Each structure stands twice: as C-alpha cells, then as structure tokens.
Amino acid sequence: MSLNYPLIFKPTFRDYIWGGRRLGTVLGKPIPEDGIFAESWEVVDHGEDQSVVANGPEAGKTLGELVQQFPQDLFGVKAPTETFPLLFKFLDANRDLSIQVHPNDAQGAQLDPPDLGKTEAWYILDAQPGAKVYVGLKEGVTREDLAQAVEQDTVIETMHVLQPQAGDCLFIPANTVHALGKGLLVAEIQQASNTTFRLYDWGRVGADGKPRALHIEQSLDTIDYDKGPVQPQTPQATSDPEIERLVTCDKFVLDRWEFDDRKSIGDEKRFHIVAVLEGKVRSSHAHLDQALGKGSTFLVPAACGPLSLRALEPTVLLDMYLP
C-alpha cells in the first residue's frame, strides 16, 4: 500500500479578531454562517492542529499520521522529518494585525515546548485601496530606538510601510518584524510553526474585553536589526515560460504558474503543495477527478509522480515545495 494520489484536506478555520468573511465569499471556504474568520489552514501538521484527508483511501487520517505511515512516499528523496515541515493558509485581514516577529529555528528550539522558527512568504490575492503592509524596520533603526518607540507609543513610525497590489509577493524571513494591514486577502506559505511575539497591537482589546498579551522583551530580543526594509519579490524566469519563481530559500520554494492548457505538476523527488488562485483546473486522477477553482488546495506526494492538470479557463496557481 502506498500514498500515491493527490490529497485534498478539510480546511480548519481561525476566528481571530482581525478576520472577516472573504474566506467564504471570495475563496469559497465553508465557513459558518455567523462570525468572522481570519485564517483557513489548508495544509498543517503542528501538534493538535492537523489537516484531515477528505478524499481517497486515506480519508479521515491526519497529515501527521501520513507522515508517520508513508514517509518515503510523501517526501521522496528529501529526508523525511518527524512532522510535515510546511504550513499553508489563506488569511482575510479585515483589521490590522499586530506588529509581530517570529523566532528562527535555533531560537524556536529553546522554547518550552520547542517549536520550529517561522520564515514565511505572502502572496497578495486582493488589496483594497489604501491597504498596507508593515514589513521590516526602516533603515538604521536600532534596538534602543525601537525600545524607546515602544515606550512612546510610536512603533509604527519605525516600520517600513508598503501599499501592495494583487499579485505581489513578500518574503518575510524569521526575525523580521512585520504585520498585514486591513483590506488584504493573502495566501501564506510558512514553516510549520505557530510561535508569535507581539510587539504592538494598536491599543485594542480581545474578545474578552482585555488587552491582548504583548511580548515586548521577547520581540526586542528576536528582531534582527540588520535586516532593514522588505521589498516585494521580483519574479524570476524559469525554463518554463509559464512558471515564475517568486521565492527560493532554505525552507521552501514558491513558484507561480499561469497557463490555459495542460501541464504536469509534481515529481518523484519531493511533495508539492498546490493552490489555485484564479481560474479552474481539472485532474484526470481517479481520486481527484473534479474541477478545482479559486481557493482550492491539494498536496501531491512524491510517490504520486507528475500529475496532469487541464486548465478549464486561464489559471493562476502557486506551487510550493522543499528546496
């Protein structure tokens, strides 16, 4: 028995206070009729947070169980790990997120319990007029400058601010202070970590009416003050004119595909996470014989090999995998 077919998972939702309704109205996610929803976790294996298979012979199993049962089938020639190393999600920022920072792997290993670091990349699906991202410190801001800004409630003045457009990609390495602003719909690929240190939270309160916890000293200790401002990624050409490389780092590779015919995705060396951003595709695989439109996500294990996709209309998708 092998894990040789493309996997669809049941999304899990996070109802953080900054969320909205666009995960349902724009991306077609089955969010409940009432409430606000900030994140849809599409592929995750992080402690009790587990994606559950929705199709094929392994339906009902968690991603963590698949990692343990089919490590070679899933990872291919890439060294299997005890847990799935990446997490993919969609985010609906209806309000500004906190100014925050994530540790690197070495820092995460010192936590109790230990966690991975969190390097991430954002792909902007939609940006309402005036929407902003806060990405890195302005040039020359030191730890002392930032600590003083915290005391004086002027943290935002130390941040590098951009107004992104749909189609922009921003790479946020661990130790980079950052925040999404209100009015953004985003796809995010990241290390499978959920450790966040909040530096600033706009003076607001949580659902319980109390100010949300800040982690000022941890944030100040975690930030890399030499990183400076973050700029949008410049897409790089590949050997295929329909594929652009948006990010290459030691944690993941992120490619954007734009096509309107047939293409094969995946290989026998590694897994691929695929997310449809525009258009619609169909696979001929028996366990994925359905049209997959905007917001659809699936995982192609290494043992599946190349998966043939047919674009039913002009399509844009993200392909994410280990380097």
What is the three-class DSSP state of 275?
strand
- Give the HSE-up count for residue 157: Cα atoms under 13 Å, Cβ half-sphere: 10
270 token code pair: 């590694």
Provide the pairing of β-strand 184-191 with 86-93. Answer: antiparallel
Spot the catalytic one: 198, 212, 245, 282. 198
- Cβ proximity of 199 and 99 under 8 Å: yes
Positive or negative torsion for Cα 168, 173, 178, 180 = positive
Reply yes or no on whether 198 is catalytic. Answer: yes
Give CA–CA dist 147/66, Å, rounded: 45
- Flag whether 120 is marked binding: yes
- Flag whether 258 is marked binding: no
- Flag whether 102 is marked binding: yes
| Per-residue burial over 108-126, b = 16 or more CB atoms within 10 Å of its CB, e = otherwise | beeeeeebbbbbbbbbbbb
What is the three-class DSSP state of 154?
coil
**Catalytic annotation, residues:** 198
**Annotated binding site for Zn(2+): which residue ranges?**
102, 120, 178
**Annotated binding site: which residue ranges?**
102, 120, 178
